[in-house]
Every structure is written in C-alpha cells, then in structure tokens.
Amino acid sequence: MLSLKDPEKKQLLDWSRRYKIIEGIARGLLYLHQDSPLRVVHRDLKASNILLDESMNAKIADFGMAKICGVDQFEGNTNRIAGTFGYMAPEYTRSGQFSVNSDVFSFGVVMLEIITGKKNSSFYKSEDSQDLLSYAWQQWREGTPLTLLDPTIGDSYVKTEVLRCIHVGLLCVEEDATRRPRMASVVYMLDSNSASLPSPYLPAVSRHNKSESIHEEIESERSGTKLLPASVNKASITELYPR
C-alpha cells in the first residue's frame, strides 16, 4: 500500500520511484476509462487504494465502489454518495454526478500528495491555504512550485519532471470538471517533454476535512431533494488491477 504517513517508508520513495508510481496510476486509470472492455469509474481513488509490488509498480485496488458505464457512456448519477472526502470531486459531492472526470480529480489529489508527501485531508498551512490543493495553487501562482516537493527527497530529482507533475496535478483538480484532462491526455503530458500544457485554473477547495469515508446527508443542487446517506467503505473487496 502507498503510505504517506510512515517516515521510514517515505524515505524509500525517492523522486524516480514516485514518478514511476504516478505514471503507473495514470496508466491504470487510462485502462479503466478507455482500454478496458467495460468503462469503469473507480469512485474511490486514494493513496491507500494504491498497492505497490516489490518493484514499486503501482496497482489500483479496491473496486467496491466502482461503477461500470456503457462503452459510449462517460458519466452517470447516483443517489448514494460514497467515497472519501478530500478525494471526491466537487460535482460528485454536490449532486451525485460521477464521471471519468471525477476519477481524474481524485488522481490529481493523489499526485499532489505523492509530490508533497502530505495528505490532503490533514493538510493545513495558513489561513489562505486550508488544504493541499489551495496551497499548491498558491505556490504555483507565486512562482515557487518547487517548495511543494517533499523535503525527504533531497536534491535527487529532475526539476522538469517535478514541475510537469505539479502542473498536470493542478489541471486535474480544477473546479470545472469539463476543463480537466482525460487520462489519455494525462499520460501523454507525463510522458512527453515537449507536450504543451494549458494554464491551470483555480482548483476545487475541499469542503470536508475528513480522512475516512463517513455518513453524510448532502442536499442535491440538481433536484432540491436529499440524497441518501453516504455509505461507509468497510466491506469492499480489494483486487489487484494490471497496468
């Protein structure tokens, strides 16, 4: 399991390993969204649902909340909000609308966590940046994005790779779901040194600061009716998914 809390395990994750993990997660999501016979929206992508093998290859796990979409379907709606706050896209927590774009949001959060070595749900830096996403955006706007890099990495990193990952991460967590890149574009941007990246816009701000899935009644902005309480992810089945 990808751990961002254990200092000893973090020491093992130098930049090259973190970059490999980020790329592995991206390719795993691309498979689920595009290359799989059935399009799958994971709905609960987070650091603890990423498994690492002995070679540090990333495997997306725990498909207990996943939704299968039709071949030509990229989104859907549910009256049961299930997931982990801090990773769920804003449109999903507001109205139950999930899509491949909501998975992209979760991926962006995980990517920024891997870069910084900090959990979004427990991050607090200042009154101007109450979560990891707003802090990353603040550093980007101030021209100091490298301050986001986990200090345990030291000086053994590739500056262009770090900057590209931060840039792509901010694109993935934009408030407007239609502006987020699809995973095919994400993989291309991560793999290509010459890819032209659009400027990121203001990211979504976490409206809940809780690290575990909890029961929560959410008012539906779409229908004006209450959604059913969110489910607790305690009995979901864990699977390994090939890259």
Query: Domain range for residue 20?
Result: 7-191
CATH code of 80's domain: 1.10.510.10
**Residue 141 maps to a domain:** yes
Decide if 227 contacts 216 (C-beta within 8 A).
Answer: no
**Residue 169 maps to a domain:** yes
d(CA 106, CA 3): 16
d(CA 197, CA 189): 7
Residue whose tokens read 């909340």 = 65
Q: How far is CA 154 from CA 97, 146, 149, 169, in A?
A: 41, 12, 9, 21
**Residue 208 maps to a domain:** no
**Residue 232 maps to a domain:** no
**Residue 112 maps to a domain:** yes
Q: What is the CA radius of gyration of the chain?
A: 17
d(CA 136, CA 142): 10
Domain count, the chain: 1
Per-residue pLDDT of the chain (243 residues; tens, 9 = 90+): 676 666 667 777 999 999 999 999 999 999 999 999 888 999 999 999 999 998 999 999 999 999 887 555 455 566 577 778 889 999 988 888 888 999 999 999 999 999 999 988 777 655 555 689 999 999 999 999 999 999 999 999 999 999 999 999 999 999 999 999 999 999 999 999 888 999 999 898 644 444 344 333 333 333 343 333 333 343 333 333 344
Cite the active site residues. Answer: 44
Greatest extent of the chain over all pairs of C-alpha atoms, in Å: 52
**Residue 25 maps to a domain:** yes
